[in-house]
Structure 1
Amino acid sequence: MSRIDETMTFIPVRIAVLTVSDSRSPDEDRSGQVLVDRALAAGHQIADRALLPDERDRIADRLRRWIADPEIDVVISTGGTGLTGRDVTVEAHRDVYEKEIEAFGTVFTMISMDKIGTSAVQSRATGGVAGGTYLFALPGSPGACKDAWDGILSLQLDIRHRPCNFVEIMPRLTEHQRRK
């Protein structure tokens, strides 16, 4: 069963938060603020924050810049994961992934089913890895961000979480680049 090993020391990760929206201003970004607030409350650091319109190339470019930044361990985006024509965040994430974390979307859907029933099928939440950086794309609602953080990310971004977590394997995410 999942648990926190209190005998271990917590290690904060450095998180960048991206809100994707054609209609929100930074002052109206409730979903991004949920992620910032929860990450800080958990003891993590906010390395950067941005708001971009639903434009695939701009989103992918921002993700690439953050992946290349050694001061960022995790990128969490919110918005643009739906089914409409302007929802391109998932495609932008997949443009940069080296590996997709397929189970992230599945687990998110399971958590969402408990909250919103079959409407959960409309979300395309995704996770992946590129350049040693974790990337997660969440829906644009504050509730979905709370569900993803509370149900998945708060645990997987805590090195004390057992039986395993994302933080403990961070040093190995780029090992394929070191082998020659």
Structure 2
Amino acid sequence: MAGNAAAPTESNPPGDIPDNQAYVPYRPTGSGFTIKVPEGWARTQRGTAAVFTDKLNRVRVETVSTSSAPTVASVTNKVVPQLSGQVPKFSGAQVTQVKRHAGPVVLLKYQGDSAPDPVTGKVVRDAFERYAFYRQGHEVDLTLSGPVNADNVDPWRIISDSFAWQ
């Protein structure tokens, strides 16, 4: 009967997005782009940003009008100082240019503390990936965040690679 042993219980770190997560297209009216977001996550609108949340994870999509494309230098010199003043315990900023299906984008990786949980007051150390997509005067900033050590590499890649200009 050794062949009938129970499979070990899977233990995922807090904030781990399941591999079987389904995704649905999100296309804000008049935005000129579409992106896949996790199905069933709560959505809130904050100005020009849509924020999708589930437990300890967030997907933030914001549109910005700008006359020039973001560069590694512009993100390093403008965005990093802004975020360091807004994100508690901001650290580890790394700015690079990467390729996604929509083309080259500027990627900013960093860490920071989450806002305290409104019920428990607990703060979580989060990892962030912020992608800056640009086309013809329109920038879309995609920020993915979740607990440090959560295995969200594949889900974040699915989301960032799904971005497409219309």
| TM-score exceeds 0.5 | no
> Whose strand proportion is higher, 1 or 2?
2
> Whose helix proportion is higher, 1 or 2?
1
TM-score (normalised: structure 1): 0.34
TM-score (normalised: structure 2): 0.36
Give 1 or 2 for the bigger CA radius of gyration. Answer: 2
